[in-house]
Structure 1
Amino acid sequence: MFSRFMFYVMNMKLIWKDVFASKTENGLDVHFEKLGNEFFSLYQTLQANPDVHFSLTPAQQLQFNQFFKKMQTLYVNIQEEEIISSVRRLGLIAYRIMMIFSALRIMEDGEITSNLYCNDTDFQNTLDMIAILVKHSSYVYSQIAQETYKPKPKHKKEQFLENLPYHFNRQTYVATALSLGITDKSAQRYIKEFKDADIIQYDGHDQYTNPNAKNPQ
């Protein structure tokens, strides 16, 4: 069931908001009723027309497959295999979001065609959203309580990858590993697995690149 959800973790801010600051004659009920009527009008328009077939362009299909293949490879290497169902489900969710974005475009241009292709902007925006959502899914997955109902820490391998800088060498990755309680031997194995899975790049002469670094430089 975990894979059927999208997760987004929001850090709580200990700031008290002035509950009387908003001065409006119309409340949220009026606002959402107006939005509902707009979308209901779109729904009626779509219902009155023949079925619309939605698809991605060949170039988008190629990018879509490459994006999720890379994501699946990354998370199967830094998490347990069970996370893969979430990655694959996000592929389906991404496609549905693209469909929604494309349908909403009809409200802008009023054009309804039997074959509807995703706008490149909507396509890229969706992938950008998924790139964030998968990180939140991974975080929540790591926090799910075990049988002892204690928070589950991030996998050592994932912590190791996250703490590697954009450019690094053996001395750097060994120091990073030791700071996380990972042995030199385990660090070498992780680096080899990351390299074989094309998660990191070996630039030669004891130089590596980590495209997943938090602050690429």
Structure 2
Amino acid sequence: MGAGDFQTLLEGAWVTIWISVIAIAGGIPLGLLLGLARISKLPVISQIVTVYISIGRATPLVTLVLFIFIGLPVLGINIDRYTASVLTLLLNTACFNAEIWRSVYQAFPRSQIEAAKAVGMTKPQYFRRIMFPQMSFAAMPGLVNEATLLVKASPAVAVIGIVDLTRVTNRIASQTYEPLPPIIVAGALYILIIAGMVRLQRRFERRAERFASIEG
């Protein structure tokens, strides 16, 4: 494996990073909305979202990306392969994130909510000022874990021609007839990507802990 192959692997890694980052950035807030909608007091909304989340979590990524890239044009909705890839990953991770947010919300101490109501805070006010900061801190490990799983599942988008890290690895292995070197390099790159995400999580947690100690 030469320098050109290594450069190609880096380019594939970059594709993996940016489609994953966009999907994660959109999937976290969408998951929050879905999680809150699932426990909504409106039965119709709650049931619809519950069914959607169940289907989303049970559907393989390969099936979902094929449906979005091939099925949507049949309905008159045409999108390019990169948009289809990001949308697939976003919708998938949002379903899992929804369950993380829901569990964190339901575990939130009711006493703090009652105290906020007692001082005259409206629901949007105490959610924004009291609940959401604490929920974000509590949900962070689960959200980061889901993000790492998404990165590892992202090679599914190669089925529609996305030249990501895994697809590049397969191409180099088939061209050079030496599969081990590109596989080792690709594995190292995946480890670096995921390690970077975990490092960001730990930095966020340390800052949140310092902020909490100052506030306390």
Same fold (TM over 0.5): no
Structure with bigger gyration radius: 1
Taking structure 1 as the reference length, the TM-score comes to: 0.28
Taking structure 2 as the reference length, the TM-score comes to: 0.28
The higher-RCO structure (CA 8 Å, 6+ apart) is: 2
Bigger strand share: 1
